[in-house]
Amino acid sequence: MRPEKTDKLATGLILLFAGITGLAVLGFLAYLLVTGLPHVSWHFLLSPAKAFQSGGGIRDQLFNSLYLVVLTMLVSVPLALCAAIYLSEYAAQNRLTAAIRLAVEVLGSLPSVVIGLFGYLVFVLQFGLDFSLLAGALVLTILNLPILTRSFEDALQQVPALQRQAGLGLGMSKWRVTTKIVLPGALPGTITGMILSAGRVFGEAAALIYTAGQSAPAVDYGNWNPFSPTSFLNPLRPAETLAVHIWKVNSEGLVPDARAVSNGAAAVLIITILLFNLLARLIGYLVKRRFAK
């Protein structure tokens, strides 16, 4: 076959499969939004869930999901950033570094249910955290570290080597070059990685079933003492997240409007993750434009 025909055939096949994939994804999103949005209202967003009666909402589950994202990012971002700085700026390119990168990739490929069971044995049983937001945040940190580390390392490596050499040539120490030149230059990529990983944390369910629990006890949103058992800020209370609530309502829900609650919660989940992605792109664009001036 002539090279021109081969090129046209390959291009056509790539466009065909890309179009099928895009239509499948868009169709799935459209189905979730069309079936879920009619059930979403302010009453649905701001009302607590009900176990046996219809008309319940997702207030506590939505707050728990957002609070869990904050706790997870507080733990995972410093760890992942330090690991990425070491791998990108200080580690020698030898077998040890290759083994560390391989371990990170293997950790990232583990099923979330396996990490959830590990978190249940270690954090819930051995550390005595019971089913709590903190146990859920720690297990999500394990789940989130590979993604954050790779995204941070990629962002650091995007900074031109000439900038590092210029800093070292001016007599700056390697630490100052890293903190004053490399990290600011990699800021758009690191922020984008953080927000995208936050979206994944928000939608995670399997790992949280074994660590954060499947119940959402009543909390006082006016109690700002994080050590109080009834405070909404207490990280040691069990907390059912939005994704876990969807799974629970579909699998063992007893409310008459279980399908409506599930569809509405799924629509809110999808919209929130879409907002995370749009926010990542917007912040990355604004930061990049500011540094380009």
Per the CB < 8 A criterion, the answer to whether 243 and 266 are in contact is no
C-beta neighbour count of 226 within 10 angstroms: 12
Write out 162-224 in H/E/C secondary structure.
HHHHHHHHCCCCHHHHHHHHHHHHCHHHHHHHHHHHHHHHHHCCHHHHCCCCCCCCCCECCCC
Q: How far apart are the first and last CA of the chain?
A: 51
Round to whole Å and give the CA distance between 205 and 188: 29
Round to whole Å and give the CA distance between 262 and 252: 12
Q: Which amino acid is at 21?
A: T
121: CB partners within 8 A, 6+ apart: none
Per the CB < 8 A criterion, the answer to whether 248 and 213 are in contact is no
Measure the CA angle with vertex 213, ends 211 and 215; round to 5°. 170
Q: Quick check: pTM over 0.85?
A: yes
Tell me phi and psi for residue 231, to 5 degrees: -75, 140
Round to whole Å and give the CA distance between 272 and 263: 14
> What integer pLDDT is reported at residue 154 of this predicted model?
92
Round to whole Å and give the CA distance between 261 and 269: 12
DSSP-assigned beta bridge partners for residue 220: 231
Per the CB < 8 A criterion, the answer to whether 271 and 45 are in contact is no
pLDDT in tens, the chain (293 residues): 777 888 989 999 999 999 999 999 999 999 999 999 998 999 999 988 887 888 888 999 999 999 999 999 999 999 999 999 999 999 888 888 888 888 888 888 888 989 999 999 999 999 999 999 999 999 999 998 998 999 999 999 999 999 899 989 988 888 999 988 999 888 888 888 888 888 888 888 888 999 998 887 888 888 899 888 889 899 999 989 999 999 888 887 778 888 889 999 999 999 988 888 888 778 877 877 776 66
